Amino acid sequence: MRVGVILLWLLLPAVAVAWHLGPGVDGRARDRAAVAVRDAERLRADDPAAAVDAFDEALSRLPAADGARAMRVRLERAKARIDAAQLAEASRELDALVDELAATPDADPALVADAQDALATSDFFVTWLKRLEGLPRDEWEPHAESARQTWRLLAEEAERRGDATAAARHGANLEAVIRLTRLDPEQLQGLPIPPQCRGCKGGQCRNCKSKSKAKKGSRPPSDSRGAGGGAPVDESGS
């Protein structure tokens, strides 16, 4: 008995080293990733560009095996990109993510719907910007149609689930993108880009306040940096 206890005691350091070099590595990486995600969420309302950097750090920390968690972080990073007016990057990332989720049999339905909603938001803003730039219909209509179809699908799915709040939100977004396609260019130039962003959900962040001071009829720059971010359409976030 005493010999067994001594042997066990002698083995403890080896076990600790094995844990430190094995599963413990992934655990520490997940902890650091979680800290980076918390930093990103804290930054997102007032400094979405910094939040994007923090989400980048979180992704670099996550172990390769944490694929589902990485998809969630990628989605939140893409939303922060929309808030930071990085529309081109957000659209590319969301396109890829939605395709990956569609090819994942056990993907979380809530994550799939959230990614689709974010992609529709991105398409909405791309449509707005392209129309402001005076580009021909064949340049902006595919984005508008993508947003329209996605929000219609999400509204119908929410109704089937009995989620009246989500159904109303997606329905309002659907109506907004339809109105956007019907506006004359002159009417569109007289409207401010919808200011509410995903981060604050209340129009109180620095981006929202700065946009609210813009003069009516002012035209944003002719690239994606002039866009607003987040869920702009229904005044309720997404």
Question: pLDDT (tens digit, 9 = 90+) per residue, 62-111?
Answer: 887 788 889 999 999 999 999 998 999 999 999 999 999 999 999 999 99
Does 116 reside within a domain? yes
- By residue range, what is the domain housing residue 27? 2-226
Task: Please tell me the pTM assigned to this model.
Answer: 0.71
Residue 122, CB half-sphere, CA atoms under 13 Å: how many? 26
Question: pLDDT (tens digit, 9 = 90+) per residue, 33-70?
Answer: 777 778 888 888 889 999 999 999 898 888 877 888 89
Does 193 reside within a domain? yes
Question: pLDDT (tens digit, 9 = 90+) per residue, 219-230?
Answer: 333 333 333 333
Question: How many separate domains does the chain show?
Answer: 1
CA-wise closest residue to 69 among 119, 17, 29, 12: 29
Residue 62 to residue 32: CA distance in whole angstroms: 8
Does 233 reside within a domain? no
Does 234 reside within a domain? no
Does 231 reside within a domain? no
**What is each CA distance from 11 to 19, 20, 36, in whole angstroms?**
12, 14, 36
